[in-house]
A and B are shown apart, each in its own frame.
Chain A
Amino acid sequence: MVEPGLIRAAQSGDRDALITLLREIETHVYRTAYYILNNEQDAMDAAQEALIRIYTKIGSYEEKAQFKTWIQRIVTNICIDKFRRSKPTVSIDEHEMVFREKQNVEDEVLSAYAVQDIRNAIDKLPEHHRAVVVLRYLQDFSYNEIADSLDLPLNTVKSYLFRARQQLQTLLHDYQKGGVRG
Chain B
Amino acid sequence: MTCQEVIEYMNRQLDGDLNEHEYEILIKHTRHCPDCAAMFERLRKLSEELGSLPHVMPKYSLVDAILPQLEQIVPFRQPEAATMELSPSAVTGLSQQTNRRTKERHQLRFRAITGIIAASVAAGLFLVSYNAGLFPTSGSFSDNNSAQTASSDAASSMLDTSKSLKEVQPLANNAGKDSIDSFVEKSDTSEDAKQFYSAQNETGGSEASGNDAGTSNEPASGSNTDSGSVTGEAPSVSANQGGGNSGSEPNQGITGYVPAPLEAASPDGGYIAKAVGYQIHIYKSGEESGKAYYDSVRRNGKIATLVWSADNKQLTYEIQLESGGMERYVVDVKTKTESKAAH
Binding site for B on A (CB under 8 A): 11-15, 18-19, 22-23, 26-27, 29-31, 34-35, 40, 43-45, 47-49, 51-53, 55-60, 78, 81-82, 112-113, 115, 118-119, 133, 136-138, 143, 158, 161-162, 165-166, 168-169, 172-173
26 contacts between A and B (CB under 8 A): A13-B75, A13-B297, A13-B299, A19-B63, A27-B55, A31-B57, A34-B56, A40-B59, A44-B58, A48-B66, A48-B91, A51-B62, A51-B63, A51-B66, A52-B94, A55-B75, A57-B86, A59-B76, A59-B300, A78-B88, A119-B53, A133-B50, A137-B47, A158-B12, A161-B11, A169-B39
Binding site for A on B (CB under 8 A): 7-8, 11-12, 14-15, 17, 39, 42-43, 45-47, 49-51, 53-59, 61-63, 65-67, 69-70, 73, 75-77, 79, 82, 85-86, 88, 90-91, 94, 278, 297-301, 321-322, 340
User: Nearest Cβ distance between residue A104 and chain B, in whole angstroms?
Assistant: 19
| A23 contact from B50, B61, B73, B86, Cβ within 8 A | B61
A44 CA / B90 CA spacing, docked (Å):
12
Contact A35/B53 with A13-B297, A23-B63, A81-B88 known, Cβ cut-off 8 Å:
yes
User: Nearest Cβ distance between residue B83 and chain A, in whole angstroms?
Assistant: 10
A133 CA / B53 CA spacing, docked (Å):
12
Q: Evaluate contact between B53 and A137: CB separation under 8 angstroms.
A: yes
Interface of A is mostly: helix
A14 CA / B62 CA spacing, docked (Å):
20
Contact A59/B322 with A13-B76, A19-B63, A137-B50 known, Cβ cut-off 8 Å:
yes
Contact A55/B53 with A11-B300, A47-B58 known, Cβ cut-off 8 Å:
no
* Residues of chain A within 8 A of B299, CB atoms compared: 12-13
Q: In the complex, which residue of chain A has the Cβ closest to the Cβ of B47?
A: A165
Q: Evaluate contact between B43 and A169: CB separation under 8 angstroms.
A: yes
* Residues of chain B within 8 A of A165, CB atoms compared: 11, 14, 43, 46-47
* Residues of chain B within 8 A of A43, CB atoms compared: 58
Q: Evaluate contact between B42 and A58: CB separation under 8 angstroms.
A: no
* Residues of chain B within 8 A of A161, CB atoms compared: 11, 15
* Residues of chain B within 8 A of A29, CB atoms compared: 62
